Amino acid sequence: MKRLAFVLTALALAFACGDDEPVQQEGTFRSKPSRVVGAVTGRVLDPLDQPMAEATVRLALPGGERIARTDPLGFFRFRDVPVPASLLVRVEKADFTRAFAHVEIEAEAGDYPQGDEAHDVGDIVLFPLGDDIVIPVRTASQIDVKVVGAHCAYRPTFVVRHPEYDPSSPISLPAESAPGVLRCKGAPRLDMWSAFDGTVEILVPAQDLDGDGVLDHLGQARTLAARELYTAQIEPIVLEPRRTPGAPLNVVSANVSVVDHWEPVEPMHTLGAEEPAEVVFDLPAETHAIWVEEGGGIWWSRVEVEWEVEEKRLRFWKPGGWKRGLRYNAVIYLSPKGSHEVLWIESYFQVESSGEIEARAHFVDVGGTGTAPANQMIWLRFSEVVSSLGSGSISVQVDADLDGSGEIGDAPYERGSETSQSFLVFPFGTLETFFSFPVAIRAGSKFVFELQDTWLLNTSGEPFSLSPVTLEARE
């Protein structure tokens, strides 16, 4: 069974199926191919369902990018696409919006499409670009002002007609501003966009209009329908003065790192497993909620915390203690005491290491062969966050007889040979990295590592070395 799915998450990596071996299916006997391929097809249309010829379609694969152009009927086709795979499709044409989507093609055991067997992504509709959207901006006292940091988020900027896809993620672009005017550029043409229930969300952050370094006016978020923009006069954005005079809450001290305007103002702090996070403000504060995630790299999960406030001091902690060797992100929603204005700050920290980091290696065994085919991604997962120091890499060899000679070290990539693969651990820390070999590796094989001009550090800043790891097969 083949399944074509669309997702709007970060691009995953593709996995190939296993080595040649017989496959029995529905009374027939055929050989399982070592490289499973198919085709990706689709069609590009305008909002009037007219085909768009000569549109550029880009297909991003883990090994590189392919480019095709639509034919006079708007169709495109990419041949010999390895499956299963996670792909990024982008469609572009001058004077039209762009389309992009992550496409996941999944194959199950016994499912081996070949050659031109097509996985159709459906009809992709692009909108012609229209005029800028211009919105008046003024204060409550009717003074025209120029704002900074505003964005315009459009939804949708394209449509894919496929039962498993919903292009719900908006495209956000910086707005241009002049005194009394906010200009949203790159908007679709309103008459056609309104037929698809298009909307634009105008996001204006809190402003320092008198330039004294204090945010003196509240921001505003407004959603406008394309139909409204096309048929009615746009009401101005009116910025209200802050209810609380003076500056918002300022952080006086903290044992965690605090983010101010998306820039870290202090280096990463490390807490003990039982140590509460603490932030001290310059004014008494009331805390409404604290959202905390734990993890590292791209792996994060929500955790519940408890907190207490003593006038200007906020403490929060995880019942049972923070998990050693992980990192934490926290968003704190609070108000100056006696104010109805809700503010938020972001903080982050890591927790001291246990001193014992376990590493495990695995691959996704799609065909159930127990062997990672050549060039398949092999994942190396750590039990704690690991970071690197230095400009080098980590080499890896296989402590196994890869060529069946009965000896180890006489074939490329075997331990003791002159050939190895290499990979990196990101300096900012991760729980997982990956590598691959141009030869097949059986589950149960052991990997040995060597650090080359680099050091691995745990969250306590202590160096450690990678012990040999046995390859596991996972479904």
Nearest to 92 by CA among 76, 116, 73: 76
More confident residue, 123 or 164: 123
Architecture of domain 2-126: Sandwich (2.60)
Provide CATH code, domain 359-474: 2.60.40
H or E element in which residue 107 lies: strand 99-107
The percent of the chain in helix, strand and coil, each rounded to the nearest 5, is 0, 50, 45
CA distances from 193 to 95, 96, 128, 158, 171 (A): 14, 12, 9, 9, 14
Question: What is the distance between the alpha carbons of residues 126 and 128, in angstroms, rounded to a whole number?
Answer: 7
Confidence class of residue 260 from pLDDT cuts 50, 70 and 90? low
Three-state DSSP class for residue 46:
coil
Structurally, at CATH architecture level, domain 251-351 sits in Sandwich (2.60)
**Taking 90 as the threshold, does the pLDDT of residue 50 lie above it?**
yes
How far apart (Å, rounded) are the C-alpha atoms in residues 280 and 190?
Answer: 49
Report the distance separating Cα 42 and Cα 124, nearest Å.
Answer: 7
Mean pLDDT estimate for the chain: 81
**What's residue 321's pLDDT?**
94
Determine the pLDDT at residue 116: 52
Please work out, in degrees rounded to the nearest 5, the angle formed at the alpha carbon of residue 65 by the alpha carbons of 61 and 67. Answer: 125
Average pLDDT score over residue span 165-171: 57
Lowest mean pLDDT among 35-49, 95-109, 319-333: 95-109
**Distance from C-alpha of 472 to C-alpha of 256, rounded to nearest angstrom:** 38
Do the domains 2-126 and 359-474 sit in the same CATH topology, yes or no?
Answer: yes
**Cβ atoms 283, 336 nearer than 8 A:** yes
Res. 29 pLDDT band, cuts 50 70 90:
very low
> Which residue blocks in 135-223 are alpha helix, DSSP H?
190-194
Radius of gyration of the chain (CA): 28
Burial 378-414 (b: 16+ CB within 10 A, else e): bbbbbbbbbbbeeeebbbbbbbbbbeeeeebeebbbb
Q: What is the mean pLDDT of residues 368-386?
A: 91
pLDDT for res 340: 64
Structure confidence at residue 109 as a pLDDT band (50, 70, 90): very low
Cβ atoms of 106 and 204 within 8 Å: the answer is: no
Q: What is the pLDDT of residue 232?
A: 72
In angstroms, how far apart are the furthest CA atoms of the chain? 86
- Whether residue 21 has pLDDT greater than 50: no
Predicted pLDDT of residue 102: 67
- What is the reported pTM? 0.52
Q: Which tens digit of pLDDT belongs to each residue from 426-451?
A: 777 889 888 999 999 999 999 999 99
Torsion of CA 450, 455, 458, 459, to 10 degrees: -160
Going by pLDDT thresholds of 50, 70 and 90, the confidence category of residue 213 is: confident
CA–CA distance, 192 with 188 (Å, rounded to integer): 8
pLDDT of residue 87: 75
Residue spans per domain, the chain: 2-126, 133-239, 251-351, 359-474
